[in-house]
Amino acid sequence: MKDFKLYAITGEQFHPGRPMLEVMEEAIRGGCDIIQLRDKKSAKRDVLEKAKALRELTRRYGVTFIVNDHIDIALAVDADGIHLGQDDLPLADARKIVGNKIIGISTHAIEEARQAEIDGADYIGVGPVFPTKSKEDVVAPVTTAYVRQVAQEIRIPFVAIGGIKLHNVDQVLEAGATRICAISEIIGSSDIQATCRSFLAKIQAASEQSGSRPSR
């Protein structure tokens, strides 16, 4: 998979009155290099239509497109990959279905991260780092301590997620994260492109400060 720095996930509740496609295009134009469609409430046909539109958009910009949970929809629109939670289809079974497409796995503890790496995940989500309102079934915050554990031990790419804002992202980067996912802070912003550029500037500054620290 192509490496990435800034990951955006759909969340239409954070931008009422603004079309999803317009919002996600602003995120891409601001520098997000991986986009995930996450929609757990809409009818499947509606999710499919959103996936088709986002696939066209991400292909136009050369950005990686991931579908959360809906493996059938990911295959139907030829998404680049899928993202699964701990209670979803096991990675080994998902791999039989999607072949060499990207598979990301949400993790909340080092044991889950280790297992995802062993099972062949292409990347893992690490979080929620801070309290978040982006998901209803969210687990307790894992804090930057878990980010630090993963940065020290896990060798596959990981993205820190959950409650990350411009005012606290430096703590996450200091713990060893090199890839950030922000949801409400990006797509709920009044200036999405500027917010994305601010995140990327912080990621770049942390990378320069760490010098030769390897990216993981």
Contact 21, 53 (CB under 8 A): yes
Q: Which of 50, 101, 135, 179 is catalytic?
A: 135
Residue listed under structure tokens 């550029």:
197
d(CA 80, CA 84): 14
Q: How many residues does the chain have?
A: 216
Residue listed under structure tokens 């990981």:
158
Residue 148 a catalytic site member: no
Q: Which of 55, 106, 134, 184 is catalytic?
A: 106
Residue 197 a catalytic site member: no
Query: Exposed (0-12), middle (13-18) or buried (19+): which is 95, by Cβ within 10 Å?
Result: middle
Q: Closest by alpha carbon to 106, among 80, 135, 77, 72?
A: 135
Quote the longest CA-to-CA distance of the chain: 47
Residue 106 a catalytic site member: yes
Hey, which residues are catalytic here? 38, 106, 135
